């Protein structure tokens, strides 16, 4: 279903698409490719929206900083100093967090209106990012397809092609609260990551990969998340051609389970400690599948360079289930 959601100040209409399958209902906006809501059942089959979102377009325009539910690009996370080298040339980006570029710059993909086309059990969002947009080189044709599988999982498929060498790392910035309200710190997380990328005071990776053993970043065995996280975890599987399950988030209050499968090599765990009104700090947890922050400045990290003739393809699948509080299966 497609409906008018609102109008931007310049008169551009923003539409909302509703996807529904296997007992799951997802709403997606043409503005920012935003996942506005995800409704899933609990143990008693009660439907609840388990992501943070605004009821109107004005909310997203007035509070852009949390990037609620949005497609992030051209580059997810941070690029140090807003600069990176590529093929012997240094490119300067638009800084929007001090001197750094964050989530694609001052007007990244989260603040653009996408073209939307219905596809089987979903929608395909597309746009052209022109050469020089926010300082990134190359004309980039990008598409993000949201579909619901026959089990009600939300599949996000990313595609991009360029006409000149560039760097690309795409993700989705949905915030999850499987209870639908309250604090999310009691959710239990299991994450298949034995290492992480330590950062400096500006949250820029040092270039090292450190072992999580003995640290609060060790989620290899499920435990309550708590607060105070904004870290890139290095997935044990690395980059993969097909999406592999890497994480499970469980809410012991409702029994809801969120699984995450991805082709990406990293996950940014963010416990939303800096959310502000109308939301409260710690109200949700973001699990942003991604390449590592600042990869263009760290040749030892998995590459984010995209070249003509070699399309980018990436996939993340969010699955939903229910588990009895005693630990029984779905």
Residues acting as catalytic residues: 173, 288
78 is in an annotated binding site: yes
141 sits in which H/E element: strand 140-148
318 is in an annotated binding site: no
2 is in an annotated binding site: no
Q: Which two three-digit tokens encode residue 84?
A: 């990176």
Under 8 Å between Cβ of 82 and 148: no
**Running DSSP on this structure, what letter comes out for residue 5?**
E
7 is in an annotated binding site: no
211 is in an annotated binding site: no
Paired residues of 149 in beta bridges: none
Q: Give the chain's radius of gyration (CA, Å).
A: 19
Ranges of H-type helices in the chain: 57-62
Produce one character per residue of 262-294: b if its CB has 16 or more CB atoms within 10 Å, e if not.
bbbbbbbbbbbeebeeebeebbbbbbbbbbbbb
Under 8 Å between Cβ of 311 and 160: yes
Closest CA to 139 of 127, 147, 148, 122: 127
How far apart CA 287 and CA 51 sit, in angstroms, is: 12
Closest CA to 148 of 127, 123, 117, 174: 123
63 is in an annotated binding site: no
Distances (CA, A) of 78 to 87, 98, 148, 211: 20, 11, 30, 22
Categorise residue 60: left if φ over 0, alpha if ψ from -120 to 50, beta otherwise: alpha
**Running DSSP on this structure, what letter comes out for residue 281?**
T
Tokens 């997203």 correspond to what residue?
Answer: 60
Residues of each annotated binding site for beta-D-galactose: 77-78, 173-175, 230
């Amino acid at each position: 279903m497609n409906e008018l959601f609102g109008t931007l100040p310049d008169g551009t209409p923003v539409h909302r698409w509703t996807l529904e399958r296997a007992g799951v209902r997802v709403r997606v906006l043409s503005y920012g490719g935003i996942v506005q809501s995800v409704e899933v059942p609990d143990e008693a089959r009660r439907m609840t929206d388990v992501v943070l979102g605004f009821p109107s377009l004005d909310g997203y325009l007035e509070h852009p900083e949390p990037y609620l539910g949005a497609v992030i690009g051209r580059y997810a996370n941070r690029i140090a100093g807003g600069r990176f080298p590529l093929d012997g040339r240094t490119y300067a980006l638009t800084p929007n967090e001090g001197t750094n570029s964050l989530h694609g710059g001052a007007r990244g993909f989260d603040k653009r209106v996408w073209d939307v086309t219905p596809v089987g059990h979903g929608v395909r969002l597309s746009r052209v990012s022109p050469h020089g947009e926010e300082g990134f080189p190359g004309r980039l044709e990008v598409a993000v397809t949201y579909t619901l599988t026959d089990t009600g999982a939300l599949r996000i498929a990313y595609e991009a092609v360029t006409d000149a060498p560039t760097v690309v790392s795409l993700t989705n910035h949905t915030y999850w609260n499987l209870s639908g309200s309250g604090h999310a710190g009691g959710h239990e997380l299991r994450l298949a990551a034995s290492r992480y990328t330590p950062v400096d005071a500006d949250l820029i990776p040092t270039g090292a990969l450190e072992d999580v053993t003995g640290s609060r970043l060790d989620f290899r065995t499920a435990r309550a998340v708590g607060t105070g996280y904004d870290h890139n975890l290095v997935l044990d599987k690395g980059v993969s051609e097909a999406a592999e399950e890497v994480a499970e988030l469980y809410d012991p209050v409702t029994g809801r389970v969120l699984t995450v499968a991805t082709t990406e090599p990293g996950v940014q765990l963010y416990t939303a400690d800096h959310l502000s009104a109308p939301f409260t700090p710690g109200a949700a947890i973001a699990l942003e599948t991604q390449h590592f922050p600042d990869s263009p400045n760290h040749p030892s990290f998995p590459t984010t360079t995209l070249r003509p003739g070699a399309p980018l393809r990436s996939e993340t699948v969010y699955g939903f289930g229910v588990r009895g509080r005693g630990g029984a299966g779905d």
